[in-house]
Amino acid sequence: VIDCDVHPLMRGGLADALKYLTPAWQQRLQPLAKSIECPGVSRDEITAGACLLVPLVRLNAWSDSLMAAAVASACNDYLIDEWIASDPRPKLALLLPSLAPATAVDEIVKHGGRPSVVAATMPLVNLLLGEAHYHPIFAALQDHDLTLVLHPTGAEGLFLGAPALAGGTSFSAAERSILMHQVAQANLCSLILQGTLERFPQLRVVFSGFGFGWLPALLWRMDMDWRRLRIETPWVRQAPTEYVQQHVWFTATDHSELRGKDSIRSPALAALEDRVLYGSHDGAATLDAGARWGVPQLAFPRWEPAPLEPSPPV
Amino acid sequence: MSLQSGSHSTREWHRVAALGDLEVGVARVVSVQGRSIGIVRLDDGVFALRNSCPHQGAEIFNGGVITGTMVPSQPGELVYGFEDQVIRCPLHGWEFDVRTGNAVFGISPKRVVVYPAEVRGEDVFVALPRAAGQ
């Protein structure tokens, strides 16, 4: 089992990684360090034989892009030393600060050559991914053959500067969770219609934790409006669905819309099955081996199989 | 006897307009044997297409304009071309090549039906399939 959605826990939050900050940033962040959380599971809670670690830090809740850059860099150093240096099972998605593209590129260059680094993750901000702001980051990802993994941090729809959810400010975490797919839809639309996947033809993107039951309706509308309004974006050279089939993946657990007992079943969804990667979100892999899943090695070509060894006891 | 569409034995030529009455780049809709047909004069010839969009059957030449379109380009660039060679449907904006009836740049495998058209002297003729029993 390869689990493509596991979040590594830093028990003390940024306090765990304080030593990787410069002395000045240590002074600046020490009082806040425990409140800067990186929630998830500890190493012994992971049951899959191989997994992708996607650090979740609410960098997109902060307006201070310098702080986001410093924290991302320290978290990467920590996770490399503590999680992947001595354990062949986990691979890492580097944490990138969306509003500090120069730092994001530096992190990719610094760590992107490590065999255990196969991806990068970037908390989304209120600037859609098709914008030129991200071009240096995408160029660096493409150069290092790293896959971009997008995952909600919980700041969406809640903090100024994080992506807004449609209609207004939702009352509860439940409402935000229900509506979170809007963020994925908007960014997927932006990546395709702004020509990002033409500009970076090797770029691969995984939308993780956003579900995908909404995808057939979005793709139908994107294809239809592309035919109708192609003159607005003539660089979109094929139907949007084609870009998804070539560049984009999604993650789901057993309990998601596709395979759970309450699943949505439609031919349009079934046609997208191989774009869906298994991701437990909580490290407790319960993969239904009989189901058809996307092949992680296609989404993450840098992912080389670890030497065979028995999984640790659950 | 050939059953091949468009062979001389299965189609019939009809005079549809005087060439001098057709303005270059402006479609004229004519009715021939109950078929509504758009006639388009360009600098290098005259073209005849069924007045029906293959998407949802809209009368593509009633309100549709003969225009150019944006050519597939690099991201962020607009390049205009094919002036007077594209018919854009008024209903949903689908665009077709007036010379071939094909949807532009692969937006759809559907195509507008094209009839053979010829200029003979000062007159424009269009060939339609011969009606059954004729």
Contact check, Cβ <8 Å, B94/A228? yes
Nearest to A234 among B71, B103, B106 (CB): B71
CB contact under 8 A, A235 and B77: yes
Mean pLDDT for chain A overall: 92
Predicted pLDDT of residue B9: 61
A195 interaction partners in chain B (CB closer than 8 Å):
74-76
C-alpha span between B104 and B116 (Å, rounded): 20
Model confidence at B4, pLDDT cuts 50, 70, 90, reads: very low
- What number is the average pLDDT over the span A216-232? 95
For residues A264 and A114, the model is more confident at A114
User: Hey, what are A147's tokens?
Assistant: 């896959």
Interchain CB distance below 8 Å, B75 and A226:
no
Q: What is the Cα gyration radius of chain B?
A: 16
Q: Which ipTM did the prediction report?
A: 0.79
Give the model's confidence band at B2: pLDDT under 50 very low, under 70 low, under 90 confident, else very high. very low
Residue A226 near chain B (CB below 8 Å) = yes
Which residue from B70, B77, B103 is facing A231, i.e. has the nearest CB?
B70
**What average pLDDT score do residues A6-29 get?**
97
Which range, of A97-111, A295-309, B34-48, averages the lowest pLDDT? A295-309
Cβ-Cβ contacts under 8 Å, B108 against chain A: 227
Interface with A, mutate which of B71, B73, B97, B110 (most A CBs under 10 A): B73
Mean pLDDT of A260-279: 79
Rounded to a whole number of angstroms, the distance between the first and last alpha carbons of chain B is 14
Q: Which residues of B make CB contacts under 8 Å with A?
A: 69-79, 92-95, 103-108
pLDDT > 70: percent of chain B? 90
**pLDDT band at residue B25 under the 50/70/90 scheme:** confident
User: What average pLDDT score do residues A86-106 get?
Assistant: 96
**pLDDT at residue B57 above 80?**
yes
pLDDT of residue A308: 52
Task: Quote the CA–CA distance of A273 and A294 in Å, as a whole number.
Answer: 7
* The pLDDT of residue B134: 53
CB contact under 8 A, A226 and B107: yes
pLDDT for res A49: 85
Q: DSSP readout, A5-26? A: EE-B-BTTGGGGGGGGS-HHHH
Mean pLDDT of A240-246: 96
Strands B11-18 and B123-129: antiparallel
Which of A231, A232, A237 is the best residue to mutate to test the B interface, defined by the most B CB atoms within 10 Å of its own CB? A231
CB contact under 8 A, A230 and B95: yes
pLDDT digits 0-9 by tens, A152-196: 999 999 999 999 999 999 999 999 999 999 999 999 999 999 999
Q: Please determine, for residue B124, whether its predicted confidence score (pLDDT) is greater than 60.
A: yes
pLDDT given for residue A289 in this prediction: 63
Closest partner residue to A228 among B72, B74, B93, by Cβ? B93
Residue A263: band (very low, low, confident or very high) from pLDDT cuts 50, 70, 90:
low
Does the pLDDT at position B130 exceed 90?
Answer: no
- For the cut 70, the answer to whether the pLDDT of residue A50 exceeds it is yes
Cα-trace Rg, chain A: 19
Which pTM value belongs to this model? 0.89
What CA–CA distance (Å, rounded) separates A96 from A72? 6
Mean pLDDT for A196-224 is 96
Distances (CA, A) of A251 to A99, A150, A203, A263, A266: 25, 10, 17, 15, 18
Q: How far is A167 from chain B (nearest CA, A)?
A: 28
- Give the per-residue pLDDT at B6: 46
Q: Locate the chain B residue with the closest alpha carbon to A228.
A: B93
Chain B residues touching residue A227 (CB < 8 angstroms): 92-94, 103, 107-108
pLDDT digit string (tens) for B96-111? 999 999 999 999 999 9
Helix, strand, coil % in chain B, rounded to nearest 5: 5, 45, 50
Give B71's contacts in chain A (Cβ within 8 Å).
234
- What is the model's pLDDT at position B59? 95
